[in-house]
Amino acid sequence: MYQALKASRSEFVPVRNLSYHVRVWGQRRDGQTPLVLVHGWMDVAASWQFVVDALQGERWIIAPDWRGFGHTRIEGPAVDSYWFPDYMADLDGLLDHYAGEQAVDLVGHSMGGNIAMMYSGVRPKRIEHLVNLEGFGLPETRPAQAPGRYAQWLDEIKTVQRGGKALKSYPDADGVARRLMKTNPRLVPDKAQWLARQWAAPNTQGEWEILGDAAHKVTSAHLYRLDEALEIYRRISAPVLSVTAGDDSLGQWWKGSFTLAQYLERIRAVPRLQSAVVQDAGHMMHHDQPDELARLIEAFLASPT
């Protein structure tokens, strides 16, 4: 099994009536910018371990489990859907706690990259550098889709309330590891075994359950407004590094309804943009090529603002 080179510690932070689980590597250093890593959908903060291990310099690194993922769980009555703006508000509260008035370097993957992009345009003074790892956003929508989208959302939350949309459980950690490798064929067994024990945990019946709330599978009630997203992109004042993988994730997912070319056109709205491609990698590039990704991130974070 993979052996982590740099030990993390768990902290629980009160944020918006949640006990937010945060993995922390290193110690705060005077004059050093905090590095904040935010994960994607159905992932956890521990997923950054391979990149953290590959970083050459010593950094104070903060990586939360988003609400409803990992060890950040909703206390009290179960929720039946999640709202995108809550992630930005959670991030705002976490930065208040860890950084105060100090700006941070922010790295986000997938859903986390999308959150990071939107937050950086809404709170531009809080970000020193921004790295977006395939935080693509979503296909452009039309107002005519709104009635159907609301109806779909109503139907799906009823399904959740009836116990539907449950996440699959596995007989043991090896089963979770096999599932991870099936999803990502580049993931080697030792890393899959390590990740499985971060991504899932045994329940009272002895089966291994994914550490994610099934309500995350409910379609958003709100349409994705590209015009709003682009306006927010234009307000980002920090330098931005957009990193895509050599494999075309968008082509695989959206079958032409949202393409990599369209994303690359969107991202041009960012005023201070750099771009890079990580070859021999898929969407989970932080698992596939952590050394190359760490090199790119460190070089970019060392650049002037």
| Strand pairing category for 127-133 and 240-245 | parallel
All residues at 6 or more sequence positions from 285 whose CB lies less than 8 Å from its CB, including other chains: 109, 133, 134, 243, 245, 278, 293
Q: Which domains does the chain have, with CATH numbers?
A: 9-140+224-301 (3.40.50.1820), 168-211 (no CATH)
Contact 8, 25 (CB under 8 A): yes
The CA distances from residue 273 to 21, 51, 119, 278, in Å, are 32, 22, 16, 17
- Side chain identity at residue 92, one-letter code: D
Residue 230 CA to residue 268 CA, distance in Å, equals 9
Q: What's the DSSP call for residue 43? A: -
All residues at 6 or more sequence positions from 188 whose CB lies less than 8 Å from its CB, including other chains: none
Please name which of 65, 69, 57 lies closest in space to residue 23, comparing C-alpha atoms.
65
Output the tens digit of pLDDT for each of the chain's 305 residues.
999 999 999 999 999 989 999 999 999 999 899 999 999 999 999 999 999 999 999 999 999 999 999 999 777 777 899 999 999 999 999 999 999 999 999 999 999 999 999 999 999 999 999 999 999 999 999 999 999 999 999 999 999 988 777 788 999 999 999 999 999 999 999 999 999 999 999 998 999 999 999 999 999 999 999 999 999 999 999 999 999 999 999 999 999 999 999 999 999 999 999 999 999 999 999 999 999 999 999 999 999 88
For 264-272, which contacts have Cβ atoms below 8 Å and span 24 or more sequence positions? 266/137, 266/226, 266/229, 266/230, 266/233, 267/132, 267/233, 267/242, 269/230, 269/233, 269/234, 270/233, 270/234, 270/236, 270/240, 270/242, 271/234, 271/236, 271/237, 272/236, 272/237, 272/238, 272/239, 272/240
